[in-house]
Amino acid sequence: MSIGVWFGVVLGVLSCACYTAAAVAQRRLAVAVPGPLTGRRPLAALLGHPLWWGSAVLNGGRAAFQVGALAFAPLTVVQPLGVLVLVFGLPWSARLAGRRVAPREWRGALLTVLALAVLLAVAVTDGRSRPMGPGVSAAVAGGTAALLAALAWAAGRVPSAAWRSHLLAAAAGIAFGVSSATAKTAIAAAGTDGAAALFHPAAAGTALVAAAGLLLAQAAYQGAELGAPLGVTTLANPLAASVVGVAFMGETYSGGLPGAGVAVLCGLLAAYGIALLATPFRPGRTRTYHPTPPLSGARGR
């Protein structure tokens, strides 16, 4: 590989590190503000906590490194690096929680990483793309916002805490994937239109969808361990970006019919891995961890 590609790989690994740190910060925040984010008081407590703003900065760094990585290395090299967040995140989160990673979680992480790596290898596009026009960008952002709202509505009505976390994590992954596509369009618009690109629908759409993704990811960690929601988000993110690339940016799916069959099998294997990662959260598991006491907005619930 050329020096430029290796530089892209380094930026991709840094993006994964930022993403992992952001996820761990959001998981710790879920312990400090444990209630569901469905009312003003818990939401105000969330937005007033330093960990929230720290995770927002880290997610911004993740996005910046990801864009830089794609500028130097092809999608086929950068996208598979996303599976590293599971490898980084599980031991990091467990260490902060004062426990060891369970063998079941390691097995789930290994299966999910292998499935995602193969899935991305067969499902990537050819790398050629064009930016979306203003009308298409607005439609993609608006349609994504509607889909995220529908998933959040469904998540609030399922009786299972695990499925609620999965739905919210899937919505967060979709938001991150689509925002990557709209960000790529906004950057292309900036290269041709300069400061006028700030008024391009892709710029506003990126901000809207990315902010929704942060809130959805945070809600997915409420009452769940790190592994399962992080695995679902890691799966949904590149798939959503690929769908937008193929449908609206002129990219071509390179897997063909055999690749589609492999993708289905990998999806099933990843789902089983995520099921192994779905260790129910029990407060007693974190007794050696001493988070910031619940804020006033999180009391009395």
Whether 288 contacts 100, CB under 8 Å: no
| pTM given for the model | 0.78
Query: Is 300 inside any structural domain?
Result: no
d(CA 53, CA 70): 26
Instruction: Classify residue 167 by burial, with Cβ atoms within 10 Å: 0-12, 13-18, 19+.
Output: buried
Query: Is 299 inside any structural domain?
Result: no
pLDDT the model gives residue 99: 75
d(CA 177, CA 171): 10
- Going by C-alpha positions, the residue among 136, 248, 130, 244 that lies closest to residue 191 is 130
Query: Is 142 inside any structural domain?
Result: yes
238-294: pLDDT as tens digits: 788 878 887 888 777 666 677 777 777 887 887 788 777 765 545 444 443 344 444
pLDDT the model gives residue 284: 45
Strand partners, 280: 224
d(CA 227, CA 113): 12
pLDDT the model gives residue 301: 42
Query: Is 64 inside any structural domain?
Result: yes
Query: Is 301 inside any structural domain?
Result: no
- Cα separation values, 67 from 74, 79, 106, 260, 265, Å: 11, 11, 30, 27, 30
Q: Which residues of the chain have pLDDT under 70?
A: 1, 34-40, 42, 74-77, 79-80, 97, 120, 122-128, 253-256, 278-301
Query: Is 191 inside any structural domain?
Result: yes
Query: Is 77 inside any structural domain?
Result: yes
d(CA 265, CA 67): 30
Token pair recorded at residue 183: 């960000």
Structurally, the chain folds into a number of domains equal to: 1
Query: Is 203 inside any structural domain?
Result: yes
Whether 43 contacts 3, CB under 8 Å: no
Q: What is the span of the domain harbouring residue 216?
A: 3-293
